[in-house]
A and B are shown apart, each in its own frame.
Chain A
Amino acid sequence: MDNDKIDQIINKHQGKASSLIQVLIEIQNQNHWLPKEVLDKVSKKLEVPLTRVMQIATFYKTFSLIPKGRNEVHVCTGSSCHARGSARLLDTVQDLIGIRPGETDSDSKFSLETSNCLGCCNLGPEIIINGKHHARLTPDQAEDVLKNYK
C-alpha cells in the first residue's frame, strides 16, 4: 500500500490515543489488511503501547493481519439466514473455493469470512462479495455466482 496514504491517516490523529480504532479502520479500508510495520508506526505515532494495538487489531473481526484475496466473500450466518439454511450455503461455498472462514486461497483469488447479521434479513440466505449482495441463494446457485469473480 501507498505509504504516503498511511502516513496521512496516522498523522491526522498524531498523539491521540483515543483515535486508535479510527486509524486502524481507515488503514484497513484503504489497504485491506494491517501489516506489522504499519502497526508499529501506529503505536509510535499515537503513543499507544504495541500490545494494545495488537490487542485491538486481533480483537475485532474486521481487522486482518494477513493480506486478503482479490475477492472478499462473506457468508451471512445471522440468526435469520441460519433459520433459512445458511449452514448448507456456507458448506457449499467452502467446497467450491476450497478454504474455510478466515482463510485466503493460495492464488489470492478469494478470502472467506462468515459475517454476523447485516440487517437485510429479507435477502437471506445471502453471500456478499466485495460488498455486493447475492440474495436468496440456494446452495446450487452459489457456483454460478462465484464463477463471475476472477
Chain B
Amino acid sequence: MDYPADKMTVWLLDDGGTDEKCNSPNAASAKEAQERRAELQALCAALGVNYLTRARNKSAKAGNLNNGLEHSTGDLVAVFDADHAPARDFLRETVGFFSTEKDLFLVQTPHFFINPDPVERNLGTFTTMPSENEMFYGVIQRGLDKWNASFFCGSAAILKRDALQETNGFSGLSITEDCETALELHSRGWRSLYVDKPLIAGLQPESFASFIGQRSRWGMGMMQILRYRFPPLKRGLKFAQRLCYMSSTLFWLFPFTRFCFLISPLCYLFFSMEIFTASGGEFLAYTSTYMMVNLMMQNYLYGRYRWPWISDLYEYIQTIYLLPSLLSVIANPSKPTFKVTAKNEDMRQSQVSELGAPYFIVFGILLLGVVATAVRVWAEPYKADVTLVTGAWNLVNLIIAGCALGVVSERATRRQSHRVLVDRPCRFLMGDKMVEGTVRDVSVGGANIRLSQSSLPGMKRGALGTLEFKPLSELPVNQLPLEIRKMSMDDKGVLIGCRFLTETPEHHRLIADLAFANSDQWSHFQTRRHQDIGILRGTLWFLTMSLYQTGRGLGYLLGLQRFGASIPPAPAVKEA
C-alpha cells in the first residue's frame, strides 16, 4: 500500500477463529477453527499485521467490525472484505478527501470483480458485456454521490472513526448494517463521497445458489431498513437524500412487479381474466410505444453500462427466490424465516444448480401459456386480437425465462483461483541461467510466463525456477520461487505455466504486487467492456442468446452435458 507505514495499521478480523468456534462442541469444526487461528496468527505475525478475534460470533460482520473498532486507534478506518484485494493507490486516492471535505464520514469506492458472477459465467458474457454491478457502481452511486447520498457498501471504503462513534459503530436492526449506518450518519448531517475508480479486486460468489443467497440478504436487509428506518420520513435527511434512499430501498420491491408481469398474461390465457379493459389494438399501441421509448431512454442514459433486456433477465432470476424472502421479511421483519443457503459449492462438474428446479417449472408453465394462446385463438376467434397481444407478452416472458434456464445450468470451472492478465517484464532464473520474459497472467497460485528464448536446458515439467521482477512497491525481496507445471510453444516463444512455491510472507507480498497492485488494469478492463451495443443489435443478441441458452438449459436438464466438450478455462481479466 502506497502510504507512510507509520501511519497505517492493518488488522485482520477473523470471525472463523473465535473462541466460540474454537470451543465448539463439534470436534471437527473446533479443530478446524483452532488450526485456522494458529495459521492466521502466524501469517499475521510474519507480515506485520495485527490479528484480532473475539469471544463470540455476535452480530456477524457488524459485530466483528465493531470489535475491530474497539481495538484500533486510527482516525480513519478502511474496510476490506477478505476476498477484496486493494490496489497500491487505494489510500492515496481516498484519504485526501477527508481533509478537503467538511464533515466527511465515508469515501466509498466501487467493487470490482475479477471473476464472472454465475450469470456471466453461465452465459459467457464476462469479457464482452459490462457486469451487472457496474450499473450500480458506475451509474447509480455516482448519481447518489451528486446528492450526497452514496452509502456504505460493506467493503472497499474508508470511514471516519468520529462519525462511527456517534452511532456506536456499525449497529442496526437490519442484516445490512452498512447501509443502515450510513443512513443514520447522513441523517446526522455527515457527508459521504464516492470515488468512481476501481481500487479493489474482489471475487463474486461462485455458485448460483450463493449468488441468490447474497442477493436475498441484500433484499431482506433493505426491506428491513425500509421498515425500521423509513428513509423518506427520516429526520435530518435532506430532501434529495430522502429521494435517493427511497430509490435505493424501493428498488428491492422489483420482485412484486416482475411477478405481476409474469402472471398477468397467464391470468388471461388460462383463466380468461381480463385485467385490462382495452382492445388488442389499443393495448399494443400503448405498450409498444412505451417499451420503445423506454428502451431508447435506457440506451441513451446508460447504454454503455447495461445492455438491453439484461435488467429483465437479472430481475427475473432473482424474483423467483427473492419474492418469498421479501414476503417473509414483510411478515416478520426482525426474524425473516426464508433463507437461501448454498449447500454444494463444488464447481468441478457441469450441472443444473441446486436452486434450478423452479426455473424449469416456470418455463414449463410459460410454455403452456403459449399453447393456451394457440388454443384460444382457434377456439375464440372473436377475441383473437386480445389473445394475440397477450400471447406476445407471454412470449417475451418465455424468452427471458429460457435465457434463465441457461443461467441456472452451471458450467464447471476448473480453476480455483482466478487469473489476472498482466504484462510485466520479468526474468526467469533457473540454476545460473537467466532468460528474459514477460509474465502474461498471474493468479494467487501461479503464473504464465512467456520466455524470449526458446529453450533452456533442464526446462521441463517439475523443474524449479525463480521469477524475478521489479515490484511496484518497495519490497525487500524481488524473487519468487516457482515450479514449472506446463510448457508449450507458440509462434512468439515458449510459454510456461508455473505454480508459486510460497514459503515466506515476502512471497505473498510479491504475489500481491504482481496481481493486485495496479489499479489501472481494472479501469482498463472495465472501459473495454463499456461498449454500447445498441437497441436493435442488443435485442437480436439477446434473442439468439436466449434461444441458445434455452437449448443448453434443457440439455442440462436431460443430462446431455456429459457428452459435451471438455471444460473450458475460466475467463480471465484482460488488460486493454
Partners in one complex: no
